């Protein structure tokens, strides 16, 4: 019997409890022993819920119980998750987590502590919900030189953008729907400002390129300024707006960016709707690869955490190798990154051309007193300078 403790009985923690119970026999067969949830830690009580019988409010009960081999950290946030994780690893317990904030901030340190204590710190659920992208990068794709990772990595924002485009919902209404379905973070600013996707692309890029990228170095724009007029422009031209988290590695250096982008139907990410996520990876031997699936929600995320629990049980006393070094990935300044921009403009065509060169106007009935156009490919700095020169740019959205 392998004993497990779950820290935090929220959306994901309760999902892990459910998956371990629902698939008990299959999991036991795959591990070779039965898994038993000996403790659930939470500040709250859950009368009537089976977890109440194993509930504790005191972390020391778990820490000092040498029978607990694996700790599931589904508390979210940095504190006390960081302290609890560190203590568990130092006590010789493996930790499996969905906490992307903690992985992005302290993942390297925690993985080193795990290694030193001959246990594992596993975080499959930190990126892409139920999609096994971290296992793919750490295992199946390790023979490749990877030079691009681009994903729809946040289920909440993809759900919001889909509801706005397909159901004509307002932003706030769509956000409420995502919250109700258990997709959004406790503080949904993390989703809509792009911070959640930013942390995820930093984690994935670190693993893909084998060098450390801090999430603080990721250029990040969220979707809170996307309005129904943007969506109408996109639709009229055959595009969808998607929050893309992208990174590229080139000879000159790498760059990372999270931003809403216009995606056309030839791009497979165009077809990724609702809470679904997808990650595109390009490798020099592999070529193109896309992993697609449920990006948020209780059971999909719990599936990834529970898969890690099984890995931790199978690899007890044996840290699983991973290519995540603390050497920094050399980055190029974001100002030098090239993009094509769709511009909403409140001046005349002459004024637009004086700043941006030849343009073709796009006009839609939903947008009065303005028109849109695509720029040629230009650097971020060139775009900013041209926009400033014209003084008439309402907003710009990059094209994928």
Q: Which is nearer to ligand HSE, 274 or 283 (CB)?
A: 274
Out of 73, 105, 138, 191, the residue judged to bind ligand HSE by CB under 6 A: 191
- Told to check if 155 binds ligand HSE by CB under 6 A, we report yes
Active-site hit among 100, 200, 261, 395? 200
Out of 201, 263, 278, 296, the residue judged to bind ligand HSE by CB under 6 A: 296
Q: Is 93 a catalytic residue?
A: no
* Three-class HEC string of the chain: CEEEEEECCCHHHHHHHHHHHHCHHHHHHHHCCCEEEEEEECCCCCCCCHHHHHEECCHHHHHCCCCEEEEEECCCCCCCHHHHHHHHHHCCCEEEECCHHHHHHHHHHHHHHHHHCCCCEECHHHCCCCCCHHHHHHHHCCCCCEEEEEEECCHHHHHHHHHHHHCCCCHHHHHHHHHHCCCCCCCCHHHHCCHHHHHHHHHHHHHHHCCECCHHHCEECCCCCCCHHHHHHHHHCCEEEEEEEEEEEECCEEEEEEEEEEEECCCHHHHCCCCEEEEEEEECCCEEEEEEEECCCHHHHHHHHHHHHHHHHHCCCCCCCCCCCCCECCECCHHHCEEEEEEEECCCHHHHHHHHCCCCCECCCCCCCCEEEECCCEEHHHHHHHHHHHCCEEEEEEEC
Q: Taking the complex as a whole, how short is the minimal distance between the CB of residue 11 and ligand HSE, in angstroms?
A: 9
- Told to check if 171 binds ligand HSE by CB under 6 A, we report no
- Told to check if 300 binds ligand HSE by CB under 6 A, we report no
Q: Which is nearer to ligand HSE, 42 or 185 (CB)?
A: 185
Part of the chain binding ligand HSE (CB under 6 A), chosen from 178-186, 303-311, 325-333, 349-357: 178-186
Site for ligand HSE in 106-145 (CB under 6 A): 129
Q: Which is nearer to ligand HSE, 236 or 273 (CB)?
A: 273
Q: Which is nearer to ligand HSE, 55 or 192 (CB)?
A: 192
Q: Taking the complex as a whole, how short is the minimal distance between the CB of residue 178 and ligand HSE, in angstroms?
A: 7
Q: Taking the complex as a whole, how short is the minimal distance between the CB of residue 301 and ligand HSE, in angstroms?
A: 6
**Closest residue by beta carbon to ligand HSE:** 156
Out of 5, 35, 119, 184, the residue judged to bind ligand HSE by CB under 6 A: 184
- Hey, which residues are catalytic here? 200
Residues that bind ligand HSE (CB under 6 A): 129, 154-156, 183-185, 191, 196, 295-296, 301
């Amino acid at each position: 019997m392998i004993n497990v403790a779950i820290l935090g009985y929220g959306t994901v923690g309760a999902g892990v409890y459910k998956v371990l119970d629902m698939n008990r026999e299959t999991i036991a067969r795959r591990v070779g022993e039965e898994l038993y949830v000996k403790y659930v830690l939470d500040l709250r009580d859950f009368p009537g819920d089976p977890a109440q019988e194993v509930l504790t409010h005191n972390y020391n009960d778990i820490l000092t119980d040498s029978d607990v081999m694996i700790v599931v950290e589904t508390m979210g946030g940095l504190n006390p998750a960081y302290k609890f994780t560190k203590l568990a690893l130092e006590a010789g317990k493996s930790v499996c987590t969905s906490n992307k904030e903690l992985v992005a901030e302290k993942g390297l340190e925690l993985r080193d502590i795990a290694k030193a204590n001959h246990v594992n710190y596993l975080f499959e659920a930190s990126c892409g919900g139920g999609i096994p992208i971290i296992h793919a990068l750490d295992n199946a794709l390790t023979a490749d030189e990877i030079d691009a990772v681009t994903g729809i990595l946040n289920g909440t924002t993809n759900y919001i953008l889909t509801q706005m485009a397909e159901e004509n919902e307002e932003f706030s209404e769509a956000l409420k729907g995502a919250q109700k379905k258990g997709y959004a973070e406790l503080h949904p600013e993390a989703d809509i400002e792009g911070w959640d996707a930013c942390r995820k692309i930093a984690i994935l890029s670190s693993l893909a390129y084998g060098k450390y990228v801090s999430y603080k170095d990721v250029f990040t724009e969220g979707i809170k300024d996307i309005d129904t007029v943007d969506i109408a422009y996109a639709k009229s031209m055959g595009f969808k707006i998607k929050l893309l988290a992208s990174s590229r590695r080139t000879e000159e250096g790498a760059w990372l960016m999270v931003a809403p982008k216009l995606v056309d139907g030839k791009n497979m990410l165009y077809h990724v709707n609702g809470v679904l996520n997808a990650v595109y990876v390009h490798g020099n031997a592999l070529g193109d690869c896309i992993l697609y699936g449920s990006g948020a929600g209780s059971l999909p995320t719990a599936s990834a955490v529970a898969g890690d629990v099984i890995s931790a049980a199978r690899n007890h006393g044996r840290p699983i190798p991973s290519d995540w070094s603390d050497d920094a990935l050399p980055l190029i300044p974001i100002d030098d990154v090239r993009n094509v921009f769709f511009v909403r403009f409140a001046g005349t065509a002459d004024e637009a051309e004086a700043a941006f060169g030849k343009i073709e106007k796009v006009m839609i009935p939903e947008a009065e007193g303005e028109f849109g156009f695509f720029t040629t490919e230009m650097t971020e700095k060139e775009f900013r300078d041209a926009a400033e020169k014209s003084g008439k740019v309402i907003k710009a959205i990059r094209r994928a």
